[in-house]
Amino acid sequence: MTSLAKTHIMILKKVGKEEDMKFSKMNYQRIQLDELRNEATQIMNQFEAAESGAEQFEIHKKYYALKDEVATTVIIARIRHDIDTADEFYNQENDYYDEILPEIKNLETTYLKKVFESPYRNELEEKIGKVAFTNMDLKFHSIDEKILPLMKQENALTSEYANLIAGAKIDWKGEELNLSLLRKYMTDSDRAVRAMACKKYEQFFQENGEELDRIYDELVKNRTEQARILGFENYIELGYNRFNRNCYRKEEVEAFRKQIKEYFVPFATKLHIKRQERLGLNELSFIDNDVYFKDGNPAPAGTPEEIMENGRKMYHELSKETKEFIDFMMENELFDVLGRKTKKAGGYMEFLPQYNAPFVFANFNGTSGDIDVITHEMGHALQGYISGKDPIREHADITMETAEIHSMSMEFFTEPWMSLFFDEQTEDYIQSHFESCAVFIPYGCMVDEFQHRVYEKPEMTPAQRHGVWAELEKAYRPHLSYKGYPYFEKGGFWQKQLHIYELPFYYIDYCIAQICAFQYKIWMDENYKEAWESYLHLCELSASDYFVNLVEEAGLENPFKEGIVKKMVGKLEEKLN
The H or E element containing residue 203 is: helix 191-207
167 and 144 belong to one structural domain: no
Residue 177, strand partner residues? 170
What is the C-alpha to C-alpha distance for residues 342 and 205, in angstroms, rounded to an integer? 18
Domain with 243, as residue range(s), is 162-296+439-502
Is 190 domain-assigned? yes
| Domain end (from 124, 157, 190) | 157
Spell out, as residue ranges, where the chain has pLDDT lower than 50: 1-19
291 and 173 belong to one structural domain: yes
What is the C-alpha to C-alpha distance for residues 530 and 542, in angstroms, rounded to an integer? 19
What is the C-alpha to C-alpha distance for residues 519 and 557, in angstroms, rounded to an integer? 8
Whose CA is closest to 114, among 37, 47, 50?
A: 47
Radius of gyration of the chain (CA): 24
217 and 115 belong to one structural domain: no
Q: Tell me the pLDDT tens digit for each residue of 47-80.
A: 999 999 999 999 999 999 999 999 999 999 999 9
Compute the Cα dihedral for 233, 234, 237, 238 and give only its sign. positive
206 and 96 belong to one structural domain: no
pLDDT of res. 4:
39
Q: Tell me the pLDDT tens digit for each residue of 458-497.
A: 999 999 999 999 999 999 999 999 999 999 999 999 999 9
141 and 197 belong to one structural domain: no
pLDDT of res. 7:
39
182 and 138 belong to one structural domain: no
| Domain end (from 485, 502, 519) | 502
Is 254 domain-assigned? yes
| Domain end (from 157, 173, 200) | 157
The H or E element containing residue 171 is: strand 170-172
Is 12 domain-assigned? no
143 and 52 belong to one structural domain: yes
175 and 269 belong to one structural domain: yes
pLDDT of res. 341:
84
Category of 168 on φ-ψ map: left (φ > 0), alpha (ψ -120 to 50) or beta? beta
207 and 119 belong to one structural domain: no
52 and 177 belong to one structural domain: no
Is 374 domain-assigned? no
152 and 184 belong to one structural domain: no
Alpha helices in 391-461 (DSSP H): 400-413, 419-422, 426-456
Q: Look at the chain and report how many structural domains it folds into.
A: 2
174 and 150 belong to one structural domain: no
Is 13 domain-assigned? no
Burial class (CB in 10 A: 0-12, 13-18, 19+), 461: exposed
C-alpha separations of 174 from 152, 169, 170, 177, 179 in Å:
40, 11, 9, 10, 15
Whose CA is closest to 498, among 369, 371, 347?
A: 347
Is 386 domain-assigned? no
Is 112 domain-assigned? yes
- Read out DSSP for 306-328? HHHHHHHHHHHHH-HHHHHHHHH
Can you give the length of the chain in residues?
A: 577
pLDDT of res. 3:
39
Is 245 domain-assigned? yes
